[in-house]
Structure 1
Amino acid sequence: MDPRITYFPVGNGDCSLITLSDNTQIIIDCNTTQEASDEDDPSRYDVHQHLLDFGKKLDGKIPHVDVFILTHADQDHCRGFDTMFYTGDPSKYTVKHSKEDLILIDELWFTHRIFANHEGELSKWAKAFKKEAQRRIDLHLAKSSVRNDAGNRIRVVGHSNNPAYKGLGDLVITPGNYIDVIDRKTKKDFRFFVHAPFRKEVDDKLADRNDTSVVLQACFDVGGTKNAGLAMFGGDAGAAIWSKILELSDDDKLAFDLFLAPHHCSWTFFSEEEYKYNKVPAEDSLAILGKGLDGARVIASCKPIKDDDDNPPHFAAKEEYEDVVGEENFISLAEVGDQKRALPTTFEMSENGPVLLDPEDLDHVDDTVKKVASTPQTYG
C-alpha cells in the first residue's frame, strides 16, 4: 500500500495519522471530545470512531495503534486521551476495555518537559498521559523484562539535564538526528528528522509550554524516489523556535510538501509579539515557509477562519500563508467536506509527491488494507 497522511478536523487542536507502506500507524496528538460523536454538531470529526472503523486490530478484534506522539501537553493536543486510549499494564487489557473501545498504544513518544517541576498545572488528559508515560519509564529504568513489549515501549524526544532520565540511554533522541526505528522496527522507506524541542526550553522554568513542542520532518521514500514526500509537524512552536531551527538546519531538513500550521494558524508562528503590536511577519518565519517545494501546501487545523480578532486561528496569519503557497494550496480542515460534517484531509505519497485524495472516496477501507490491519500480536 502507498503511505499516506490523514489530517483530522478537530477544531482548534491537532490530530494527524501517518500510515506507512507496511501499515505502521502513527498518531500525532489528539483533540477528541464527546461532541465529536454528536451528529448535530458538525464542527468536529469523530476520530475515535474512525480509528475503530478503519484502524488496526489485534487478531481482528482489539483496536491498537503502533505509535502515539504527544508534541506537548496542552489540552488541545491530548484532549480525550484517557477515553480514546487504554492506559496501564497491557497484559491486563480485558473484554471490559474492548467494550469501552479503548485503543492500545504499542509505543508512546513524548518529551521530558511533561515531568518538569515547572510544567505547571496540567489538564486531566495531560495528567492521564503523564501517568501512563511514567509507568512506562519506570519499567525501563527498572530494566523490567516486559519493558520492550508492545504497550510498554517509549521514545523520549529532546534534551534535558534532569538526571532522573539518564538511564534511558538510546531511547532518548535529541534534535539533529533521524529516527527510522519505529515500534522496534527499522523502516527502509520512512524516517523522522527531529528539529526540536531544545534543552533550553525543556529545562527553563520560564519557557512557554508551546515552545517545548516536538518538531518533526516526516520523510517518505516511494518507489525509487528518496524524500518523495516531506511533511512538517511543529505542534505549537512559536516564531523564536522556528528561527532557531532555521539557523541550525540544512535546507534539505527544512524542505516540505506539507506544512501543518503551528498553533492552529496562529499569528505566533510569524511573530513573538501580538498582531496589534507587530503586523510584520518575522523574516525567519517567511524563510521557513520559503523552503516549501513546488506545489507545497499549508494545512490549518483549527475552527473556520474568519476575518475577526480571534487568535487562533488568525486571519492575517492565513493571508501570510496564502501569500507564500497560494490560496489554492492553503487548506483549512474545518472547511473540508460539507455543512453536515467536516471530513478528514488525506494525502497519499507517490513518487511525484503527495496526492490529495477526494474525502468522499475515503469512507471505506479496501480488502487489502483490512487484511494488513488485522495484526497478530501479543500484549503482556
Structure 2
Amino acid sequence: MHKMTFFPLGNADCCRIDLDNGKKILFDYADTRNRDDDDDLRCDLEQELRDDLDESDRDSFDVVAFTHLDEDHYKRATEFFWLEQAKKYQSDDRIRIDTMWVPAAAITEDGIEKEEGKILQKEAQHRFKNGKGIRVFSRPGRLKDWCKKNDVDFEERKHLITDAGQLPPEFSLDDDGVEFFVHSPFAKRLDENNVEDRNQDAIVMQVTFRFDDIETKAILMADAPHEVITDIVEITKGKKRTERLEWDIVKLSHHCSYLSVGPDKGSDKTEPAEAIKELFEDYGQEGGVIVSTSKPIPGKGTKGDNDTDPPHRQAANYYKDDALDDAKNFKVTMEHPKESAPQPLVIKIDESKATVQKRAAVAGAAAVGTRPPRAG
C-alpha cells in the first residue's frame, strides 16, 4: 500500500508520501513546535521524520518539494537537511535530498526577507547551476534572464524543467505506482506578470496512486488563492483533461483560508467561486477526504472567529456541507484524533482507495472509513 501522512504543525505544512516500493517523498517541511514549551501540542517534526527514516534504514528522501518559499513551508529545513552549497550544512546526522523540487520563482525571486529562505534559494540555485539534484517547475522568461545573468546555459538545463500540464520524470505509474501531474505554476502567467507572488506561483499537483489496478487521486494545493484555482480548473477543462481535476483526497490551500474558496468570507459559509464549486462538488469521488493543515477551526463567536488569519470557520463549513458526502471526512491536523492530543494523520491508499487510520494503542493500525473498491 501507499501512505500519505500529514503532521500537526499548526498553520504550517508537511506531507510525507510513502510509496509501496519504499520510496519517500516530502512536500514541504516546517518544524514549528516551540521546543521550550512542554505544552505546545504541535509535533516534533524532526523526530517524527528521523524515527521513520531509521525504521526504514534510510538517511534520505527521494524527493523533497518546497512548494514555495514562505516560512510555514520551510521552517528549520536548513537545520535538518544536508545542503550541497556549503560544508557547514553537511554533517553526518543531516538528512539528504536526492532531488529537490521547487517552483521557478524559488530561484528567481528577489523579495525573500528571512535568512533561512535565502539559504534554501541558494541551495536551489546551486543545484540548478550544477545541473543535477533538482527539478524546477514552470519556464518563465525571467528564469532565462536569471540564467543569462549568472552565466548558466539555459538550454543545457531544460531537462531539469517541467511545465504545467506535464509529468515530472522521477516517478511513473508503471514503475512506482504513482505519478505527479503539474497544475501550477503557469509559465504564461509568470511571463506576463511583472510581480512574483509566492502563493500564486507555488507548486500545485494532482497525485495519482495505483494499487492493484485501483487508482486514488490526491490534489496538493499549496497556498493557491481562488483565482489560481479557477485558472487551474479553466485551463484543465480547456485542454479536455478533466480527469486531472478528480480527487479522493485534497490537501486544502492555505490552511482553510476563505480566500481559497471565494472573495467574500460570508457570515456562516463562504460562497465558492464558480470554478471552486465545480472542482469540489463535481470532481470529488465518493468517500473523499479533505485535509486542513491548520490550527483547530474556531467556533462561531469565539475569539479566533474574528481572526484575519486562517483557518476560517466559514470556509470549513463550505467544505463540510457541500464538498463532502460525509462531513466526518473533513480532517484538521491539529484536531486529529482529538484537539487535546493531535497526532499525525495517516491516510492509507490501497485497493480500498483512501482510508484514514487511527493511531493504534498496540502494534498495527486500525483503519476507519473503509469503503469497497471502485474502478480507477
* Alignment TM-score > 0.5, same fold: yes
2:288–2:354 contact (8 Å) kept in structure 1: no
- Which secondary structure does the structure 2 equivalent of 1:73 belong to? coil
Give the unaligned 5+ runs of structure 2.
Answer: 148-153, 366-376
Alignment of 1:179-218 (within 5 A): 179-182=168-171, 187-203=175-191, 204-218=193-207
Q: 1:265 to 1:25 in 2, by over 3 A?
A: same
- Deviation of 1:120 after TM superposition, in Å, equals 1.4
2:59 to 63, 67, 70: 63
- Deviation of 1:124 after TM superposition, in Å, equals 2.3
- Deviation of 1:37 after TM superposition, in Å, equals 7.7
With 18-27 and 162-171 compared, the bigger mean Cα shift is at 162-171
Separation of aligned partners in 1, 2:362 and 2:155: 44
Separation of aligned partners in 2, 1:120 and 1:17: 28
Partner of 2:116: 125
Partner of 2:314: 316
Partner of 2:28: 29
Partner of 1:330: 330
- Deviation of 1:200 after TM superposition, in Å, equals 4.1
Confirm whether residue 157 of structure 1 aligns to residue 137 of structure 2: yes
Q: 1:357 to 1:206 in 2, by over 3 A?
A: same
Q: 1:122 to 1:189 in 2, by over 3 A?
A: same
Partner of 1:219: 208
Partner of 2:231: 244
Look up the equivalent residue of 2:77 and give its one-letter code: F
Partner of 1:342: 342
Look up the equivalent residue of 2:233 and give its one-letter code: L
CA shift digits 1:106-156 (9 cap, x unpaired): 110001112335x4133222112111111111211xxxxxx4xxxxx1111
The structure whose RCO (Cα within 8 Å, separation 6+) is larger is 1
- Deviation of 1:309 after TM superposition, in Å, equals 2.1
Partner of 1:233: 220
Separation of aligned partners in 2, 1:207 and 1:199: 12
Separation of aligned partners in 2, 1:295 and 1:49: 32
Give the unaligned 5+ runs of structure 1.
Answer: 141-146, 148-152, 366-380
2:265–2:315 contact (8 Å) kept in structure 1: no
Separation of aligned partners in 1, 2:19 and 2:78: 25
Confirm whether residue 293 of structure 1 aligns to residue 277 of structure 2: no
1:73–1:122 contact (8 Å) kept in structure 2: no
- Deviation of 1:158 after TM superposition, in Å, equals 1.5
Confirm whether residue 170 of structure 1 aligns to residue 159 of structure 2: yes
CA shift digits 1:322-352 (9 cap, x unpaired): 0121321100110013465410011111112
Separation of aligned partners in 2, 1:137 and 1:185: 27
2:270–2:318 contact (8 Å) kept in structure 1: no
- Which secondary structure does the structure 1 equivalent of 2:233 belong to? helix
Look up the equivalent residue of 1:154 and give its one-letter code: I
- Which secondary structure does the structure 2 equivalent of 1:319 belong to? helix
**Percent of pairs identical after alignment?**
27
- Which secondary structure does the structure 2 equivalent of 1:211 belong to? coil
Look up the equivalent residue of 1:257 and give its one-letter code: D
Separation of aligned partners in 1, 2:161 and 2:306: 40
1:78 to 51, 55, 74: 74
Separation of aligned partners in 2, 1:282 and 1:362: 45
Separation of aligned partners in 2, 1:316 and 1:358: 27
Confirm whether residue 54 of structure 1 aligns to residue 45 of structure 2: no
- Deviation of 1:54 after TM superposition, in Å, equals 1.1
CA shift digits 1:337-376 (9 cap, x unpaired): 34654100111111121121112359889xxxxxxxxxxx
2:27–2:66 contact (8 Å) kept in structure 1: yes
With 83-92 and 14-23 compared, the bigger mean Cα shift is at 83-92
1:258–1:298 contact (8 Å) kept in structure 2: yes
1:57–1:63 contact (8 Å) kept in structure 2: no
1:56–1:64 contact (8 Å) kept in structure 2: no
2:66–2:73 contact (8 Å) kept in structure 1: yes
Q: So what's the TM-score if we normalise by structure 2?
A: 0.83
Q: 1:155 to 1:288 in 2, by over 3 A?
A: same
Q: So what's the TM-score if we normalise by structure 1?
A: 0.82
Please tell me the root mean square deviation across aligned C-alpha atoms, in Å.
2.7
